[in-house]
Amino acid sequence: MRKLLISLLFVLICFLASCGEKDKYVLTEDTYFLVMTNILYYPEQYENATLEFDCFTYQLTDTEGVSYMCGVRKCSSGYGCQCGRDTVIGFILNSSEKLPEPIKQSEDSVEKAWIHVSGNLDSMEAKEIIIYAYSGDEIDYNTVETIRFYTLNVDQFNVIEDYQNLAYYVTK
C-alpha cells in the first residue's frame, strides 16, 4: 500500500510540475523540412507549442501587392508550389520588433539575413498567398501559384552572424 501511495504521489508531482508548460519543438538542420511539412498537414499537433528554429528573412509579395515578412528555408518543389521548381518553406513572421531586411533574396546563396526565432502559431489556419509564378529567373505574370504559410507569433529572435554551417537548402 505504501509503495502505491508513493507511486501515486510521484505521478501527481510530475503532473503538477508539467502543468502550464507548452510543448517545444526545436527544428534542426536535420528536422526542419520534416517538421515544416508535418505542420502543413497536422497543425493541431503544434497548437500552443513553442517552435524554435534558424531561418533567413524573405519578403513575399502577393499578386495584389501585399508584402509579408517571412522566415524561410529553400526546399524542393512540391511544398506549396506546383511550378516544378524549388520554393521556400517557412512562416509569415509576426513580430513586435523590426526583423532584419532580406539580403540577396533572389540568389541561391547562403549569404542571407539569418535569424534564430522562437514563437508559436497564430492560428491553426494557414494563410493562402497567391503569387506570380517564375519562369526561369523571370516572373511570369500570366501564371499564379498559391503558397500556404502559417503565421508565427515571434516571442524572440536573434541575428545569426556565423551562418556558414546552416543549410540554405533543406530536403529531408
Per-residue pLDDT of 38-60, as tens digits, reads 998 899 999 999 999 999 999 99
* 143 vs 2 pLDDT, higher one: 143
Residue 146 in contact with residue 77, Cβ under 8 Å? Answer: no
Q: Tell me the domain boundaries of the chain.
A: 23-170
Compute how many other C-beta atoms are within 10 angstroms of the C-beta atom of residue 90: 24
pLDDT at 6 over 50: no
Rounded Cα gap, residues 168 and 103, in angstroms: 13
pLDDT digits (tens, 9 = 90+) for 76-125: 655 544 455 567 789 999 999 999 999 988 788 889 999 999 999 989 99
DSSP symbols for 21-80 = PPPEEE--TTTHHHHHHHHHH-GGGGTT-EEEEEEEEEEEE-TTS-EEEEEEEEE-TTSS
Residue-wise burial string across 102-113, b where 16 or more C-beta atoms lie within 10 A, e elsewhere: beebeeeeeebb
